[in-house]
Amino acid sequence: MGMLKEFKEFAMKGNIVDLAVAVIIGGAFGKIVTALTSTIIMPIISLIIGKGGVTDMSFSIGKTVFPIGIFLQSVIDFILITLVLFMIIKAMNSLKKKEPAPAPPATPEDIILLREIRDALKK
């Protein structure tokens, strides 16, 4: 039972739970961006390039056909996801309260007295 208790303590730490939530939200966010890409962005690109879509793009060398369209769509999905995540993180960082700079440490009393003596001697 000791190992089960240790595992429970490990799994219930805040970092593990936060990571699990982040993975679930990230997966859902990825689906949203993929849907955006396939339903809005890719049809616009198909209009521009004049083919059936990016996923239909391919090239051949000899008799071998290389279907690069699916790869290109995945690259576009990745770029969009990273761009949106960057913008979200940047917005969150700008909303965070800026911590004030720490106050300089108080000058010790003996230093203050020595300065007063120095100033008095100058006069």
Write out the DSSP string of 1-39. -HHHHHHHHHHTSHHHHHHHHHHHHHHHHHHHHHHHIII
Higher pLDDT, 49 or 69: 69
pLDDT at position 27 is 86
| Statement: residue 85 has pLDDT above 70 | yes
pLDDT in tens, 51-72: 677 777 888 999 998 888 888 8
Domains along the chain? 2-99 (1.10.1200.120)
Mean pLDDT of the chain: 82
| Arithmetic mean of pLDDT, 87-107 | 81
pLDDT of residue 117: 92
pLDDT at residue 101, rounded to an integer? 76
Assess whether pLDDT exceeds 70 at residue 1. no
- What are the tokens at 69? 């369209």
The pLDDT-based confidence of 45 (bands split at 50, 70, 90) is confident
Whether the Cβ atoms of residue 70 and residue 55 lie closer than 8 Å to each other? yes
Q: What is the mean pLDDT of residues 17-46?
A: 82
Mean pLDDT of 31-40: 82
Cα–Cα nearest to 35, from 83, 92, 73, 86: 73
